[in-house]
Amino acid sequence: MNETIKHRIEQICRGEVPKGYKKTKVGIVPEEWEEIRFNKKFSRVNRKNTEGNTNVLTISAQYGLINQEEFFNKSVASEDKSTYFLLKKGEYAYNKSYSSGYPFGALKRLERYDSGVVSPLYICFAATSENKCPDFYSQYFEAGKMNSEIQAFAQEGARNHGLLNISVDDFFNSVIVSPSLAEQEKIAEILATQDKVIELKEKLLEEKKNQKKYLMQQLLTGKKRLPGFSGEWKKTKLKKLLKERKTYSQKGLEYPHVTLSNEGIYAKTERYDRDHLVKAEDKEYKITLLNDICYNPANLKFGAICLNDFGNAIFSPIYVTFEVTENANLRFISSYMMRWDFINAVRKYEEGTVYERMAVKPEDLLNYEVLLPSLDEQKAIAAILTNTDKEISLIQESIEQEKQKKKALMQLLLSGIVRV
């Protein structure tokens, strides 16, 4: 980074306006960049779903507009979708619901499908004929450049079920910037190139994960044996390998509060914290320790079982946590239980009349019989899977670095600090 750009950044950080720049409603930008109304570049889309489209979409931070069932493993849409808005490829939707990384809601363009429908709570829009470079504005939205305007319109404290209180009229009257078309195109091209780098690394990550799935299927079932091992595998009930942990604590006394999903264990966010719905005297949480195997009895069908690599923590008492005994190798048995073959097999124990609440009780799970090799062979298999996990982690770290590069580029280019 050259000295001119460094000096420019320092000036802006001090609240000064560098030479050749101006102060606007959306921040300090180059003098020749125009301030325009959102409705000059975009028009509202409010076509109803009269064609019976069933591709219900939701907005994901990582995947953009994505099929609801594909993302949640279930549909949370109403049965009657005739009031939903019909979106076509290249059109946009704004979700007024705030979430982690998107404090003022998320704006995404439909890329993955030719069409789909979204909740009537979303604000939908399309580029006008005056908008010659929608790719620029897709990056502009992703960088959160609409946030200051949305924040100004949304009444603080007036949130309805997590939705920001911003009207359609206010949204379309918000201010955005408009560099020259040539600069828009150059900025969009640079950021798209960085997106491509991230996309290629994400494909590599997916390939490595698929490789791990193949290894798990082959090695954890004995279909493929490692050199030096030929002994017969023996049937063993899980209760000889696992012991349910039933210790409790009140929130905030010792451990962080976490939640569990098919993606693992992670810190509980404010958005999903429903403690206000629980009576004070009932606020006891289950303790889970590092390297426990944990699962959600009602969501096992969605893959909600994992190894606790987060650390010592507390979570909902509806979750189950097991410590692994000395009769099994931790990495082997956790990998074994996270396979879909295993999950589908133990689902025979599910009880309940409503699909969403059908659950596998821990005592039934512990009675399930598994086929295991010797401890030495378990360790050897676990070592191979652990090495694969390390390779996956390295790719994930590389992807995160590229995403941070993208954020830096967006900050510099979309504010005009660096000109192209």
Segments making up each domain of the chain, as ranges: 20-178, 181-230+373-420, 234-372
On the 0-12 / 13-18 / 19+ scale of CB atoms within 10 A, 320 is buried
Which CATH fold topology does 181-230+373-420 show? Helix Hairpins (1.10.287)
Gap between the terminal Cα atoms of the chain: 14
Between these two residues, 98 and 104, which has the higher pLDDT value? Answer: 104
Q: What is the pTM of this model?
A: 0.83
What is the β-pairing status of strands 242-244 and 264-267?
unpaired
Of all residues in the chain, what percent carry a pLDDT higher than 70? 93
Mean predicted confidence (pLDDT) in 53-60 = 92
Q: Do the beta carbons of residue 390 and residue 331 sit within 8 Å?
A: no
Mean predicted confidence (pLDDT) in 256-284 = 67
Backbone φ and ψ for 6, nearest 5 degrees, come out as -60, -45
On the question of pLDDT at 160 being above 90, the answer is no
pLDDT in tens, 41-53: 999 999 999 999 9
pLDDT attached to residue 252: 62
Tell me, rounded to whole angstroms, the distance of Cα 250 from its chain centroid. 28
pLDDT attached to residue 314: 94
Distance CA 321, CA 211 (A): 28
Distance CA 162, CA 165 (A): 9
Mean predicted confidence (pLDDT) in 216-236 = 95
Nearest Cα residue to 220 out of 378, 37, 51, 4: 378
Map residue 24 onto helix, strand or coil.
strand
pLDDT attached to residue 275: 47
Render 141-152 in DSSP notation, one character per residue: HHTTTTHHHHHH
pLDDT in tens, 102-122: 888 899 999 999 999 999 999
Q: In terms of CATH architecture, what is 20-178?
A: Alpha-Beta Complex (3.90)
pLDDT attached to residue 61: 77
Between these two residues, 107 and 251, which has the higher pLDDT value? Answer: 107
Torsion angle, alpha carbons of 344, 347, 352, 358, to 10: -50
Distance CA 93, CA 109 (A): 7
pLDDT attached to residue 272: 47
pLDDT attached to residue 1: 66
pLDDT attached to residue 268: 79
On the question of pLDDT at 237 being above 70, the answer is yes
Nearest Cα residue to 416 out of 2, 1, 5: 5
Whole-angstrom CA distances from 391 to 13, 234, 348, 395 are: 39, 31, 35, 6
Nearest Cα residue to 263 out of 291, 292, 294: 294
Q: How confident is the model at residue 161 (pLDDT cuts 50, 70, 90)?
A: low
Q: Maximum Cα–Cα distance for the chain, whole Å?
A: 78
pLDDT attached to residue 279: 41
The CATH code belonging to domain 234-372 is: 3.90.220.20
Mean predicted confidence (pLDDT) in 415-419 = 95
Q: Do domains 181-230+373-420 and 234-372 have the same CATH topology?
A: no
pLDDT attached to residue 194: 98
* Residues counted in the chain: 420
Mean predicted confidence (pLDDT) in 218-234 = 95
Other Cβ atoms within 10 Å of 246 Cβ, number: 11
pLDDT in tens, 6-47: 999 999 999 899 999 999 988 999 999 999 999 999 999 999
Whole-angstrom CA distances from 405 to 113, 142, 177, 399, 401 are: 28, 14, 23, 10, 6
> Sign (positive/negative) of CA torsion 113, 115, 117, 123?
positive
pLDDT attached to residue 278: 43
Distance CA 139, CA 188 (A): 7
